[in-house]
Structures are given as structure tokens and as C-alpha cells.
């Protein structure tokens, strides 16, 4: 199958050229993409919504900066899942092109904003854990709720500003420049800049977590050496170490799920992609949903506070279900007693 000609300048930058980016050629491929997006997207929204409920329904968790950052991550994953699934399925499965360039760039900006905010939330969480482990006596003074919310506000505004640049004019149609082979209307230079931005975020996260792991290792060695002095301080150390390891697991899953997409993006900058590679890119994009779906599972299994809240929610649900099932029987028994009387 020949490679579809991707427009290189604004003279051919029309909605009709979007057909070149619809790389799914068979019905089986479309059904596979739709199934993956539907399954991962639904589970992602449900699980992350549950995480937000568990965090904000408990006064003990919603006041902690660590869980404020985790709630930001969950919110970013929810938004990314909804926007990504709707736009991705409409474009690749239903082949809809009845929208303007601005609408497409707005949808793409929403996905980019959510993903960038997700990464940035992980970075803030890594910094929060590093301060908690390296300077525990000053942690409450350095990391307050006000500073956490201000940091999140700056984070989301920055991510939204970077993601909206194509919509504001940095696109190949407006600049009459080289277009990307992976995204319609996206300027090649912008794609390179966005990849650099994401790589910087990933590098900072890896660097921060390296220090967190090093401090966690030191605390584990300290606790093993001073078992006789076990107390409240050691209990707090164990919780910090546990949360640090949990967030490293989140980072590992993030890198594994997003590295194929980033590698293909980088590869597209230096050479022309075949239709086969662009199909691979389309399927690899669904790994982003898988990452957002796995994160809440890691929280539930590794965070004792969230796991305890989850058990309480299920216990309350079972009690309500049991009460609703017993109510008709109780009412029937009461009526029988009245009749017998």
C-alpha cells in the first residue's frame, strides 16, 4: 500500500487531507481500537473517580499535600481518557472529518494538557516525597496546603498554555511550514518542542525519584539498625518509604506505556513514516489509556490509607445491600405476625 502524501504547507492544508491520517484500513483493526479504547477508557474513568472520592471523602487524606497531588493526577487521567477516547474513536474508527481545524486542535490540546498535567503532578509528588523523607522535621512548614494548591494552579496553567500554542497559531497551516506525519495541522517544530518539554518533565521525575529511593534505602537501613527504638518516628518512615515505592511503580508503568509513543514521535521527526508504522503508532496510543487505568490500582494496593478507605466503602455498600435485601423479608414477617395475632 502506498504512503499517503502528507501536506507540507498550507496550500494543501485542508480538512480533506485528514483522510491521509486515517491509517486503520480493515474492519478488524477498527473494532480492536474501539474495544481497547472503550474498555480502558471506561475503567480509567471509574477507577480514577473512585480515587477522587476516596481522597476527598476522608478528612485525613484530602488535607495532605501528597494526596492533593495524587488527586490532580487522577483528574488529569479522567480528562485525558474522556477527550482521547471520544476524539480518537471518532477519527480512526468512524472516520469523521466534519469538523474544523480549530476543533481538531482544541481536542488535541485537551489531550496534551491532561497528559502534561499528569506528568507534572507526578513531578510534584516526587518533590513532596523527597522533602518528606529528607527533611521530615521541616516538612509541614515547607509543604503546606496553600503552597500545594498554588503549585497545582501554576502547573495546570503552564500545561494548558503549552498545549494551546497550535490553536493560537503555531501550526503548519498558519505558518506555511512542514506538517507532522502523525497529527493533522501540527507543525513539525512544535512537535519537536513538545517532545522536548515532555522529556524534560520525565528527566526531572526520574532524577527526583532517584533521590527518593536513595533516601528510602537509607531509612530502611536505619530502621533495621535501630529496631529497639521503634516508635512513631519509625512508623512515619515506613509510611514514607511505602509511598515512595508506590510512586516509583507509577513512574515505571508511565515510562513503559508512553515510551513507544514518544519513540515513534521522535522517529517521525527525522524520517518519513510508512503506513505500517503509523498504524503501530495508533495502537501504541491506547497504551496511554492503560497507564491511566493502572495508576488507581497501584494506589489501592499500595496506599494503606486509600486501601482502608476503600474497604470502608465496600463494607458500607454491603451493609446497605444486606439491609435492602432483608427489608422485604422483615416486612413480610411483620405482616404474618399481625395476621396471626
Residue 14 lies in a domain: no
- Domain harbouring 205, CATH code: 1.20.1070.10
Q: Which grid coordinates belong to 174?
A: 498558519
Range of the domain at 274: 24-310
Interaxial angle between packed helices 65-92 and 27-56, expressed in degrees from 0 to 180 and rounded to the nearest 10: 160
Residue 184 lies in a domain: yes
- Concatenating the DSSP letter of every residue in 263-325 gives HHHHHHHHSPPPHHHHHHHHHHHHHHHHHHHHHHHHHHHH-HHHHHHHHHHHHHHHHHHHHHH
Beta carbons within 10 angstroms of residue 33's beta carbon: 20
Q: Map residue 179 onto helix, strand or coil.
A: strand
Q: Which of 14, 22, 4, 20 is nearest to 185 (CA)?
A: 14
Cα(44)–Cα(218) distance, integer angstroms: 35
Residue 329 lies in a domain: no
Give me the pLDDT at residue 339, please: 43
CB 302 within 8 A of CB 245: yes
Give me the pLDDT at residue 241, please: 66
Place of cell 512508623: 235
Residue 230 lies in a domain: yes
Residue 19 lies in a domain: no
CA distances from 283 to 253, 255, 323 (A): 17, 16, 46
Residue 340 lies in a domain: no
Q: Which of 117, 139, 2 is nearest to 70 (CA)?
A: 117
CA 330, distance to chain mean position in Å, is: 47
Task: Give me the count of residues in the chain.
Answer: 341
Beta carbons within 10 angstroms of residue 20's beta carbon: 17
Give me the pLDDT at residue 335, please: 42
Q: Which grid coordinates belong to 329?
A: 423479608
Residue 192 lies in a domain: yes
Cα(97)–Cα(104) distance, integer angstroms: 9
Number of domains in the chain: 1
Query: For 56-64, which contacts have Cβ atoms below 8 Å and span 24 or more sequence positions?
Result: 57/309, 58/305, 58/309, 60/305, 61/305, 61/306, 61/309, 63/145
Measured over the CA atoms of residue 32, residue 279, residue 85 and residue 104, the dihedral's sign is negative
Give me the pLDDT at residue 98, please: 73
Q: Which of 73, 61, 208 is nearest to 145 (CA)?
A: 61
Cα(211)–Cα(244) distance, integer angstroms: 10
Low-confidence ranges of the chain (pLDDT < 70): 1-17, 217, 219-244, 247, 300-301, 325-341
Q: Which of 232, 150, 249, 185 is nearest to 17 (CA)?
A: 185
Residue 4 DSSP one-character state = P
CA distances from 207 to 152, 211, 262, 329 (A): 20, 7, 19, 61
Counting Cα atoms < 13 Å in the Cβ hemisphere of 200 gives 7
- Concatenating the DSSP letter of every residue in 120-151 gives HHHHHHHHHHHHHHH-GGGHHHHS-HHHHHHH
Residue 320 lies in a domain: no
Amino acid at each position: 500500500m502506498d504512503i499517503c502524501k502528507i501536506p507540507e504547507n498550507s496550500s494543501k492544508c485542508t480538512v480533506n487531507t485528514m483522510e491521509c491520517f486515517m491509517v486503520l484500513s480493515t474492519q478488524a483493526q477498527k473494532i480492536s481500537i474501539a474495544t481497547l479504547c472503550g474498555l480502558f477508557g471506561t475503567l480509567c474513568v471509574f477507577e480514577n473517580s473512585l480515587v477522587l472520592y476516596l481522597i476527598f471523602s476522608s478528612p485525613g487524606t484530602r488535607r495532605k499535600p501528597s494526596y492533593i497531588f495524587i488527586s490532580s493526577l487522577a483528574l488529569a487521567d479522567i480528562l485525558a481518557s474522556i477527550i482521547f477516547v471520544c476524539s480518537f474513536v471518532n477519527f480512526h474508527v468512524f472516520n469523521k472529518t466534519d469538523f474544523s481545524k480549530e476543533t481538531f486542535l482544541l481536542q488535541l490540546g485537551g489531550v496534551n494538557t491532561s497528559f502534561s498535567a499528569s506528568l507534572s503532578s507526578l513531578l510534584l509528588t516526587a518533590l513532596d516525597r523527597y522533602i518528606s523523607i529528607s527533611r521530615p522535621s521541616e516538612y509541614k512548614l515547607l509543604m503546606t496546603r496553600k503552597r500545594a494548591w498554588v503549585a497545582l494552579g501554576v502547573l495546570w496553567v503552564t500545561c494548558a498554555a503549552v498545549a494551546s500554542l497550535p490553536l493560537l497559531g503555531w501550526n503548519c497551516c498558519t505558518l506555511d511550514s512542514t506538517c507532522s506525519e502523525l497529527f493533522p495541522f501540527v507543525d513539525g517544530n512544535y512537535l519537536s518542542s513538545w517532545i522536548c518539554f515532555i522529556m524534560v518533565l520525565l528527566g526531572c521525575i526520574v532524577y527526583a525519584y532517584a533521590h527518593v529511593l536513595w533516601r528510602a534505602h537509607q531509612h530502611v537501613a536505619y530502621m533495621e539498625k535501630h529496631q529497639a527504638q521503634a516508635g512513631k518516628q519509625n512508623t512515619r518512615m515506613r509510611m514514607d518509604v511505602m509511598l515512595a515505592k508506590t510512586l516509583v511503580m507509577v513512574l515505571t508503568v508511565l515510562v513503559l506505556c508512553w515510551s513507544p509513543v514518544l519513540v515513534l514521535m521522535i522517529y517521525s521527526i527525522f524520517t518519513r513514516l510508512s503506513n505500517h508504522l503509523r498504524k503501530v503508532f495508533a495502537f501504541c496510543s491506547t497504551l496511554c489509556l492503560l497507564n491511566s487505568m493502572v495508576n488507581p490500582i497501584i494506589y489501592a494496593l499500595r496506599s494503606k490509607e486509600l486501601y482502608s478507605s476503600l474497604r470502608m466503602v465496600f463494607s458500607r455498600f454491603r451493609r446497605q445491600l444486606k439491609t435492602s435485601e432483608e427489608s422485604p423479608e422483615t416486612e413480610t414477617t411483620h405482616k404474618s405476625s399481625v395476621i396471626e395475632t
